[in-house]
A and B are shown apart, each in its own frame.
Chain A
Amino acid sequence: MKKVIVLISLGILGFYLIDIFLGIGFGVQHFTAGVKDLYLSNSKDTLKVSNVVTAIVVNFRGFDTLGEVTVLFLASTALGGILYKKRHHVGERSVLFPASRVVMSGAKLLFPSIVLLGAYVFIHGHLSPGGGFQGGTIIATGFLLMLLTYRNYSVSHNRLVYFESLAGILFVSIGLVGYFSKGSFLENVLPVGNMNELFSGGVIGIIYIAVGFKVAAELTGIIYTVLHEKD
């Protein structure tokens, strides 16, 4: 009986959801008055940022991004707290399997280029697709590769904390600089420059670099904590 009720109510919700999706009409102009045109024109004219998504994420709705960064920070903090007592010393891992020689030399070769790609993605966040979250994740995958390949590879926990904290402090400080000099938190305080150049968009680039470092350090920390969990 319970299941029938659940199925019926889920069915009703699902029906209306599909109805909405069909009604949205992708690719068709359907907002008569919304914020999208304002976003487009402002990121082109005021901020001179060619990646509109970045302009929205870091500037128009930068406060949300600060929140999202905090969510990730919280997740890694909470995970570290839960797995705290179970942590092994370096070299004693629960995930242990021998890597072949090909993987070992390949990983060494790939690691710098993965980090470079990640850095490229977050430094060019306001010019090309990608940004701090994506770039940071790419860097963390590089560390994951190294941790999986080499048994004794270790990442200094303190160094991760430094990167994480300093990047977070940088983000909030940029916001506070805007607050104290222009009167509004996270407001752009630097010259916006020319569109499509590396130094454009004011503080957007700096914030995305901070986010990139922070995400990379946090995800690496999470991977490291989980890999070193006792059974």
Chain B
Amino acid sequence: MVGSPVLFVAIPLLAAFIIPLTGMMWKNSVRVIPGLVLAFMFFLSISLMGYVNEHGTIVEVLAGWKPPIGINLVFSPFTGFLTTLMTFLGFIVWLYSYKFKRNVDFEPSMKYFMLLMLLVTGSVGIVLTGDIFNMFVFIEIVSISGYGLTSFYTRRDSAEAAFKFLFMGAIASTFLLIAIMIIYSQLGTLNIADIAEKMPMMDHKLKVLSLVFFILAIGVEAEIFPLNGWAPDVYTEAPGPIGAAFAGIVVKAAIYASVRLVYTMYDFSGAFDLFIIIGLITFIMAETTALRQDRLKRMLAYSSIGQMGLVMIAFGIGTKEGVYAALFLMFNHAIIKSLLFFSGSYLVFNKKNKYIKHVNGMGKYLPITSVLFTIGAFAIIGLPPFAGFWSKLAILTAAADNKMVVLIAVILIISILEAVYYLRVVNRIYFYDKKEKTEPKKPSLNALVAMISLGVIVLVIGFYPDLISGILDRAAADLLDKGNYIKDVLTLNK
């Protein structure tokens, strides 16, 4: 083992405090250091994953106090999988935006890269922590970096989007605090494993109430209906790569938080049905709304919300196959949606309002970007040779195993809508003529490398899904094994 989970938080924070100092001496350090830190986090998570596969879950105590007194971090196959995914995407987002704002002032670019790094750090923290109050702190870190990044362009619309997000986020934080307070007032502990063990002692009424507050609070970040009013605006107004960071990293962390609550902390099965219902409503609403959008980024945003609904449904099925499908969906969505955001940003680069019609005929001018967008579009619909196919197949099989016929029907019907609005864009790229005079912007080398590596992953996973199914299997088994989680954390010999 080369490191331990706490470095995922300590190193980025140290770097965040150092960057303002080094930035005074060497201006480029504000771009380079976050990239190095993100790369370090990615390699650390890979090496820890290797360790976990051989020796089992790592539970790290902080400040030398064993849980439940102190805070602990848990790096299990499940959390490790998400950490690896998030840090990888964080690095790719950094790579894509390396040249971002190169010509403008030094200070905005420093803020951009610092906020991006802390956004990833906060999301990783949410996933790794084993303490609900600590999770609250990390959710705060993520939200505040999110507000800052949304309002980055300091335009009227981005200010509005950021303010909307800020408002929802502030209310969500309050609700989260109330939920934590209810739990602490009843059980006298904040450790997730300890709470999970003591949960049967809690009054049923209070249990339901605290879960309601939790879901309301985390639902804002997880973009579930009807708490996702902020999401489309934020995706539209934030810089292009940040849309990918939200879809691939922040939302994943929020979904993780809600899943951890329902699978580990609470002990009633009704919550699973709640997941299916919420997920279905989110899925249907978002996909039908996406069909009506005329701006590319808004369409991608609604599609992203819809995919999250699908993930919720898969988690709501509650069996091992369901969790497997959900994790596969999360993985695919993170990779594919980032690819779509990246390539989509170039297709409508420098256009006012970024309408879908601006992509007309781009196939001739930006051939590689267009092909990558098309791969992403086909993959997210779930066409066979791409990665998205296997995850959609997995969720349908999981539903079929549980005889949820209506669910299968709904997913398939809504998938047709998805196909309609994505293929419409692809059609415009290749079979329409370009009317606008403005010259399309060629992607820079680093952006091209980022996009192509994502595209390659989509293809490779599409042809060899077995590459990842082992990891997903272990992660799913780990999430479902609640007793083991409690045992790992509470019987620590240190």
Q: A67-B141, A73-B16, A184-B60 are in contact. List 8 more A-B contacts (CB 8 A).
A: A33-B198, A35-B68, A35-B189, A42-B69, A60-B63, A63-B71, A74-B144, A165-B17
The residue in chain A whose Cβ has the minimal distance to the Cβ of B205 is: A16
Interface size class of B (residues with CB under 8 A): 35 or more
**Contact call A179/B148, Cβ cutoff below 8 A:** no
- Minimum CB–CB distance for B13 against chain A, Å: 6
Task: Name the B residues within 8 Å of A158 (CB-CB).
Answer: 24
A-B pairs, top 3 by smallest CB distance, nearest first, are A34-B188, A78-B148, A168-B17
A27 within 8 A of B: no
A to B CB contacts below 8 Å, 29 in the list: A32-B188, A63-B71, A64-B137, A66-B9, A66-B13, A67-B125, A68-B137, A68-B140, A73-B17, A74-B141, A75-B144, A77-B115, A78-B111, A78-B144, A84-B108, A84-B111, A85-B154, A161-B21, A162-B21, A164-B20, A165-B17, A169-B18, A172-B13, A184-B60, A184-B64, A185-B60, A186-B62, A186-B64, A188-B64
* A17, B147: Cα distance in complex, Å: 29
Query: Interface code A162-175, partner B: CB below 8 Å = 1, 0 otherwise?
Result: 10111011001101
**Contact string, A31-67, partner B, CB cutoff 8 A, digits 1/0?**
1111110110010000000000000000111111011
Known: A59-B63, A62-B63, A161-B21. A172 touches B10 (CB 8 A): yes
Please give, as numbers and ranges, the residues of chain B lying within 8 Å of A185 by CB-CB distance. 6, 10, 60, 62-63
**Of the candidates A24, A60, A70, A182, which one forms a contact with B69 in the assembled complex, judged by CB atoms under 8 Å apart?**
A60
Residues in chain A near residue B405, CB distance under 8 A: none
Q: In the complex, are the beta carbons of A186 and B108 less than 8 A apart?
A: no
Query: Within the complex, which residue of B60, B108, B118 is in contact with A74, where a contact is CB–CB below 8 Å?
Result: B118
A206: interface (CB < 8 Å): no
> In the complex, what's the smallest C-beta–C-beta distance from A49 to chain B, in angstroms?
13
A145 to chain B, nearest CB (A): 26
Contact of A169 among B17, B24, B182 (CB under 8 A): B17
Complex Cα distance, B152 from A63, in Å, reads 29
Contact (Cβ within 8 A) A184 B62: yes
Inter-chain contact B63/A24, CB cutoff 8 Å:
no
Are the C-beta atoms of A187 and B64 separated by less than 8 Å?
A: yes
State how many angstroms separate the Cβ of A75 from the closest Cβ of chain B.
6
A81 at the interface (CB under 8 A from B): yes
Question: What's the dominant secondary structure at chain B's contact region?
Answer: helix
In A9-30, which residues have CB < 8 Å from any B CB? Answer: 13, 16-17, 19-20, 24
Number of A-B contacts (CB under 8 A): 159
Identify which of B6, B13, B147 contacts A78 (C-beta below 8 A).
B147
A66-115 contacts to B (CB < 8 Å): 66-68, 70-71, 73-75, 77-78, 80-82, 84-85
Q: Does B445 reach chain A (CB closer than 8 Å)?
A: no
Q: From residue A230, how far is it (CB to closest CB) to chain B in Å?
A: 12
**Residues A35 and B69 in contact, CB atoms below 8 Å apart:** yes
Bitwise, B132-143 to A at CB < 8 A (1) or not (0) is 011001101100
Q: How far is the CA of A204 from the CA of B95 in the complex (A)?
A: 39
Given that A172-B10, A184-B63 are known contacts, is A82 also in contact with B154, CB under 8 Å in the complex? yes
Chain B hits for A173, CB < 8 A: 14
Asked if A60 and B65 sit within 8 Å, CB to CB, the answer is: yes
Q: How far does the alpha carbon of A20 sit from the alpha carbon of B186 in the complex, in Å?
A: 9
Question: How far does the Cβ of B30 sit from chain A's closest Cβ, in whole Å?
Answer: 12
| Chain B stretch 1-52: residues in CB contact (< 8 A) with chain A | 6, 9-10, 13-14, 16-18, 20-21, 24
Given contacts A24-B185, A63-B62, A71-B137, contact A161 B20 (CB under 8 A): yes
From residue B61, how far is it (CB to closest CB) to chain A in Å? 6
A81 contacts B14, CB within 8 Å? Answer: no
Decide if A67 touches B62 in the complex (CB within 8 Å). no
Residues of chain A contacted by B152 (CB below 8 angstroms): 81
The answer to whether A71 and B141 have CB atoms under 8 Å apart is yes
Nearest CB to that of A58 among chain B residues? Answer: B63
Contact (Cβ within 8 A) A13 B134: no
Determine whether the beta carbon of A169 is less than 8 Å from that of B14.
Answer: yes
> Would you list which residues of chain B between 168 and 215 have a CB under 8 Å from chain A?
178, 182, 185, 187-190, 198, 205-206, 209, 212-213
Q: Report how many residues on chain A are interfacial, defined by Cβ distance under 8 Å.
A: 56
Note all chain B residues with C-beta closer than 8 A to A78. Answer: 111, 115, 144-145, 147-148, 151
Chain A residue nearest to B107 in the complex (CB): A84
Interface presence of B56 (CB below 8 A): no
Is B439 on the interface with A (CB-CB < 8 A)? no
Q: Which residues of B contact A31 (CB under 8 A)?
A: 188
Check A176 for interface membership: any CB of B closer than 8 A. Answer: yes
Q: Which residues of A contact B62 (CB under 8 A)?
A: 62-63, 184-186
Q: Which among B9, B63, B144 has the greatest number of chain A C-beta atoms within 10 A?
A: B63
Instruction: Verify B188–A176 contact, CB threshold 8 A.
Output: no
- Is B458 at the interface (CB under 8 A from chain A)? no
Closest chain B CB from A101 CB (angstroms): 38
- Residue pair A80, B107 in contact (C-beta under 8 Å): yes
**Which residue of chain A lies nearest to B119 when distances are taken between CB atoms in the complex?**
A74
Minimal beta-carbon separation of A228 from chain B (angstroms): 14
* Cβ–Cβ < 8 Å partners of B151 in chain A: 78, 82
Residues of A within 8 A of B65 (CB): 42, 59-60
B384 within 8 A of A: no
Residue of B nearest to A167 (CB): B17
| Given known A-B contacts A35-B68, A168-B17, A67 and B188 have beta carbons under 8 A apart | no
The distance in angstroms between the C-alpha atoms of A2 and B71, with both chains bound, is: 42
CB-defined contacts of A85 to chain B, threshold 8 Å: 154
The verdict on B70 contacting chain A, using a C-beta distance below 8 Å, is yes
Q: Which residues of A contact B185 (CB under 8 A)?
A: 20, 24
CB distance from A225 to the nearest CB of B (A): 12
Q: Which of A164, A166, A172 contacts B14 (CB 8 A)?
A: A172
Taking CB as reference atom, which chain A residue is nearest B133?
Answer: A64
Q: Is the CB of A67 within 8 A of B148?
A: no
Report Cα–Cα, A124/B115, bound state, in Å: 33
Chain B residues within an 8 Å CB radius of A20 = 182, 185, 206, 209
8 Å CB contact of B18 from A19, A59, A165, A186: A165
Contacting pair A70 B209 (CB below 8 A)? no
B105 at the interface (CB under 8 A from A): yes
Instruction: Please give, as numbers and ranges, the residues of chain A lying within 8 Å of B134 by CB-CB distance.
Output: 61, 63-64, 67
Most buried by B among A35, A67, A73, A164: A67
User: Closest residue of chain A to B19, judged by CB?
Assistant: A165
Supposing A77-B111, A168-B13 touch, asked if A71 and B140 sit within 8 A by C-beta, the answer is yes
